[in-house]
Structure 1
Amino acid sequence: MESTTSKKSLLKKLEVPHEKDAVYELTPWINRDIVPLPPSRRTWGPWSFVGFWLVTGINISGWTSASALLALGLNVWQAMLTVIIGNIIVGFAVALNGLPGGEWHIGFPIINRYVWGLYGSFFPLLMRILLSFVWYGAQTWFGGQSIKVVIGAIWPSFLTMKNTLPEGTAMETNDCIAVILFWVLSLPLLAVPPELYKVPFRYATASITIAAFALFIWALAKQGGGGPLLSDPSTFLGIDKVPKGKELGWVMVLGVTTNVGSISAGIMNQSDYSRFARKPGDQVLSQIICVPIMSILTALVGIICTSCAAGFFPDEELLWEPYKLLIAIQTHGGPGARAAVFFAGCAFVVSQWGINISGNGVSGGIDLSGVFPKYINIRRGAFITACVGLAINPWQLLNTANRFITVLSSFAVFLGPATGLMITDYVVVRRRKVRLSHLYMPTQESIYWNTYGINFRAVFAWINGVWPLMPGFIAAVQNKTTSEGWTHMYYLSWLAGFFISGTTYIILCKIWPLEGLGEVDDKDVFGTFTEITKGDSTSYGSGESGENVIASQMVAPVLGRKAGVEDGEDKSSWKGKF
């Protein structure tokens, strides 16, 4: 009996902080970070989303994205065409998948409860958590390389210090110091609530934009043109066979889907950020415009800078990564070059913080919070993501395991179908109507319960979108060949999976209709559209059993806007409208 009491006491202490005046009770299905956000926490306007994509768009991964496309045999302008088409698709996909976040102010973990069912939602959550862990580690490595540039600009001897690590470590001592330093400096930033990001976004945006375009202009001026990659990339890269005709068309298709697939994880959980929008429309136009523009400019700047460097640093290998380019500039330049490299390196450090903290740390935190709401919030989940990201030894993955990178990049095979389900379910099947209160009810009374807590329509539709891509995916991972048909299907990966799963899901929902379509709450249960206190409404949730109950008056759905009140307006008199 005593041990049981001690266990309960320990678990109670481990629970996440909970406001005493909250309109819901803390349960295994709800906490402050996954409840529909109230107006006080929704601080992102259109320019906040622009800042988000400026900070996360100009990054090392985006800078080097064109290298893979040129390696396929495309010339610079063909590669850029695939970047343009791919990122226009990304812009619309991001805005579409951000709709439920902007309109209902719920994130990725909760959205999947109405798509996959209350228990089925754990499947896409675990996929996204895995990617957050791995990408946090990968971006930490890139951030460490940027820190190495900064330290090397202050103390040049740091770049050539003696390596004391054993062979096979896949990094040297200075790399290790820089990575650990970047990781440690990132920890305080993980504690910053996402609703406060709009302020640091302003300064981070200015620093990385100035640094990237200053480097771009300097490279063009120094080379006196675009460099050798623009005129004859195939010869310069040592490519024996340049694709033509039908083959060229399919390679360009692969280039388009590569661009979409590279950000497929960000597309899938976009509502984790759009839910912070002050108004539903704040995230739409800004992302449709800004996402492709920033990705296109970053890829173009990366290609031009690499091409120019190949011209004025002919003895160096191709400098695709900006941190290698900056080190080469310092090596071949004078004291003035060291100062320029220092400031540029600082800008890329800030950029890596932007993409890693918001894109991976916070995403991992939100998703972990969705799995264990009672014990993990965004902050705790972000710290867990950071620890696991470092523990996976990202330097080994990035420097020695090319096959692993192929697997990671090809994860769009699984994410494309999942995203197709999310968008078609919300836009086509449910017609953008959601009953918020039932998303937190793990009982058969919830309209999102389905069968044993799982929506098998989503399961079947997802499988139907994944299996046609698997033969090509397996062949790519194993570096083998398969039939032309399977290869071409794999080239379509994200797009094919998206449309096959989405279409299958719509058909299944016509044959096997979902329960509660068109229903929305007739009361603002969680204070999502107007601030309410515990005294204004019966609290949501129950005691120690963890089973959620809804007060009898919290039924029937109507979004506040349907009652004649637009989101973002003064709702002081809203109660009388229910």
Structure 2
Amino acid sequence: MTIPPGASPQLYNEDLAPAKERNWGAFSIFNVWTSDVHSLWGYYLAASLFLFCGSFMNFLLAIGIGSLIIFFLMQLVGLAGVRTGVPFPVLARASFGIWGANFPAIVRAIVACFWYGAQTAAASGAIVALLIRNESLLQFHQSSHMLGHSTLELICYVVVWGLQLLIIQNGMETVRKFQDWAGPAVWVMMLLLAVYLVVKSGGFSFSHTIPMDVLLEKTKNAGVPGVPGSLAALAAVAAIWVTYFSALYLNFCDFSRYCPSERSLKVGNLWGLPVNLVLFSLVAGITTIAAYNVYGEVLLHPDQISAKFDSWFLALVAALTFAVATLGINVVANFVSPAFDFANVFPKHIDFKRGGYIAALIALALYPFAPWEGGAAHFVNMIGNTMGPIFGVMMVDYYLIRKGRVDVDALYREDGEFRFENGWHVNALIAAGIGIVFSSILPGLTSVMPTWWGVYGWFFGVAIAGAIYYALRSFRSARPYPA
């Protein structure tokens, strides 16, 4: 492998180097999104958002608009990955400085650790729902507890947690191979689940919906403005759907850098995002309605539905498929990023595998506290809003300041263009810091902002941080940075 001229061992290792093998074609990029969306948490969020829409047409409209926005944003960061070939924390050096990039890298890594735990808990929950169909295991589940959870839940969590570590033993190529079959597999199971429930309910019509009094009861404490079906609720649904992908807006270049061309990126994103997202959401909506018609209650978790199956075999297939799919999103969205992010902090001592192990250990330590338990919409907004300001700074820097041109070799040099103020770019840190105050801190920890602000916190973070960064860069454009 060719080392960039003048590369510092404090900034470079083999995992952080520009990609040389580019074999992630359109199908692999498509499956990044099937792996990312087709999970228990993805279904849970889609089904939860369905309740705010009041009808299928409203749901498809809100999700469709949100999915188009997601496609546009992923293209922005994805193109940067194709053109530079570098992972997210290295690309962040262009805007935050060679050492300052550790700030967005650590923030992204911490968010990934939270999501890693949430997805692992969802996958293990599917296994628990299957096991407690057995009377003795149900009794064990109800009577034995450890660390704030049932002992059975703890055992399943640790087992699923350990299985994920096996997937990344051979690096990114193993990740690609795993996601290429895990993503499509859950599509098959989702369709089977929907067909099973529609047949059991005696048929289906798009005009069917859940009664308004039930929708109001289920959504009253979700923090989403407006009643189900109102314009305010639909706008919030689209915003929450966009925010759900906030972490991957930052590190999608971790995957797109392996693309052989911009065209393969666009084709993979087109099929994997607006097309796939709308179809997946449609199936989630159909399943939610059919489950209500069959069981007389709103069931937002697939494992809650599969637990009610008369057939133990069908319940087994459903539980295993959803568990595998959830492992897929964890590896794609919540293992790869912190693996690179932690490696970026200490390249000489931490490689891809060790970075991933650190993330997994943090997720394990978080399990007793389970910060992901609660409403899906609230959790997505709380976690996602911190990502907006960083994204705003990076995209303004790459497209408006640098016009899409970055000296890749300089990203690995201590004395190059991206040294700024002793390795830290104060402009970027100020802009991101102010953005985080308005996107996360004020709406999350105080009552200063209006109640609806948090729903759109990610967008405010992007706009505020991006505007401040552009203003600061324009003001200092004629002034040299100190060494």
Fold equivalence (TM over 0.5):
yes
Kept in 2, the 8 Å contact 1:219–1:309? The answer is yes
Q: Is the 8 Å Cα contact of residues 113 and 363 (structure 2) preserved in structure 1?
A: yes
Q: How far apart are 1:87 and its partner, in Å?
A: 1.8
Give the direction of change, closer, same or farther, for the CA distance of 1:312–1:384 in structure 2 (3 Å limit): same
Find the counterpart in structure 1 of residue 396 from structure 2.
Answer: 424
Could you tell me which of 302, 310, 319 is aligned with 2:299? 319
AA at the equivalent of 1:93 = L
Residue 468 of structure 2 corresponds to 504
The question of whether the paired residues in 2 share the 8 Å contact of 1:472 and 1:487 is answered with no
* Deviation string, structure 1 residues 16-55 (Cα, Å, up to 9, x no partner): xxx8x867777121100001111xx322011111122122
Cα offsets for 1:119-140 (capped at 9, x unmatched): 2111111111111111111111
1:33 maps to: 15
Aligned-partner residue type, residue 459 of structure 1: L
The answer to whether structure 1 residue 439 and structure 2 residue 411 are counterparts is yes
CA distance in 2, matches of 1:247, 1:297: 20
**Alpha-carbon shift at residue 429 of structure 1 (Å):** 1.4
Task: Call closer, same or farther: CA 1:460–1:246 in 2, change over 3 Å.
Answer: farther
In the alignment, which residue of structure 2 is the partner of 1:5?
A: none
Matches of 1:166 and 1:147, distance apart in 2: 17
For the Cα contact (< 8 Å) 2:95–2:425, is it kept in 1?
yes
Query: Does structure 1 residue 171 correspond to structure 2 residue 149?
Result: yes
Aligned to 1:451: 421
Match of 1:207 in 2: 185
Asked if 1 retains the 8 angstrom alpha-carbon contact of 2:90 and 2:344, the reply is yes
- What are the ranges of 5 or more consecutive residues in structure 1 without an aligned counterpart? 1-18, 517-578
Match of 2:66 in 1: 86
1:97-108 alignment runs, 5 A limit: 97-108=77-88
Rounded Cα–Cα distance in structure 2 between residues aligned with 1:44 and 1:262: 24
Where does residue 123 of structure 2 map in the other structure?
143
Secondary structure in structure 1 of the residue aligned to 2:417: coil
CA contact (8 A) 1:190 1:383 kept: no
CA, structure 1 residues 152+487, in 2 after alignment: closer, same or farther (shift >3 Å)? closer
Partner Cα distance (1:514, 1:407) in 2: 43
Return the offset for 1:258: 0.9
Partner of 1:268 in structure 2? 250
Contact 2:149–2:368 (CA<8 Å) still a contact in 1? no
Say whether the 8 Å CA contact 2:58–2:229 is kept in structure 1. Answer: no
8 Å contact from structure 1 (residues 80, 296) kept in 2:
yes
Q: Which moved more, 1:423-432 or 1:502-511?
A: 502-511
Deviations 1:410-448 (A, max 9, x none): 2333211211221221122111111112111223xx111
Deviation sequence 1:140-174 (CA, Å, 0-9, x none): 11111223355567x6753454544348x543232
Q: Which letter maps to 1:100?
A: A
Q: Which moved more, 1:100-109 or 1:236-245?
A: 236-245
Q: Is the 8 A contact 1:75 1:233 kept in 2?
A: no
Could you tell me which amino acid in structure 1 is paired with residue 192 of structure 2?
A: A
Could you tell me which residue of structure 2 aligns to residue 465 of structure 1? 435
Shift of 1:195: 2.8
CA shift for structure 1 position 70: 5.0
1:495 aligns with 2:467: no
2:165 is the alignment partner of 1:187: yes
**Structure 1 residues 342 and 458: CA distance shift in structure 2, 3 A:** same
2:386 and 2:130 map into 1 onto residues whose CA distance is: 38
State the Cα deviation string for residues 523-571 of structure 1 (Å, max 9, x = none).
xxxxxxxxxxxxxxxxxxxxxxxxxxxxxxxxxxxxxxxxxxxxxxxxx
Q: Aligned residue for 2:213?
A: 235
Determine if the alignment matches structure 1 residue 354 to structure 2 residue 354: no
CA distance in 2, matches of 1:408, 1:174: 27
Give how far 1:319 is off. Answer: 1.7
Distance 2:362 2:165 in 1: 13
- Deviation, structure 1 residue 394: 5.8
Q: Does 1:292 align with 2:274?
A: yes
Question: Which residue pairs with 2:378 in the alignment?
Answer: 406
CA gap of 1:467–1:255, structure 2 versus 1, over 3 A, is same
- Letter of the 2:371 partner, please give it: L
* Contact 2:97/2:423 (<8 A) preserved: yes
Map of 1:55 onto structure 2: 35
RMSD of equivalent CA atoms? 3.1
The 1:269/1:233 distance shift into structure 2, 3 A limit, reads farther
Work out the CA distance in 2 between the residues paired with 1:229 and 1:307: 10
**Paired-residue identity, %:** 24
What is the match of residue 524 of structure 1? none
SS of equivalent to 1:142: helix
Q: In structure 2, how many angstroms separate the alpha carbons of the residues matched to 1:50 and 1:73?
A: 27
Q: Which has the higher contact order (CA 8 A, sep 6+)?
A: 2
Number of residue pairs matched by the alignment: 475
Further displaced range: 202-211 or 225-234: 225-234
Question: Could you list the per-position Cα deviations for residues 388-414 of structure 1 after superposition, in whole angstroms to 9, with x for gaps in the alignment?
Answer: 111111673344xx4998366323332
Find out whether 1:342 has 2:322 as its counterpart. no
- Contact kept? 1:165, 1:172, Cα under 8 Å: yes
1:414–1:466 contact (8 Å) kept in structure 2: yes
1:251 to 224, 233, 249: 233
SS of structure 2 residue aligned to 1:29? coil
What is the one-letter code of the residue matched to 1:282? S
Give the partner amino acid of 1:209.
W
- Name the residue aligned to 2:97: 117
Residue type of the partner of 1:434? Answer: V
The answer (yes or no) to whether the contact 1:73–1:243 under 8 Å persists in 2 is no
Letter in 2 for 1:253: A
Paired residue type of 1:377? D
Query: Is the CA contact (8 Å cut-off) linking 1:397 and 1:404 kept in structure 2?
Result: no
Letter matched to residue 355 of structure 1: I
How far has the Cα of 1:465 moved from its partner? 3.4
Mapped partners of 1:447, 1:201: distance in 2: 37
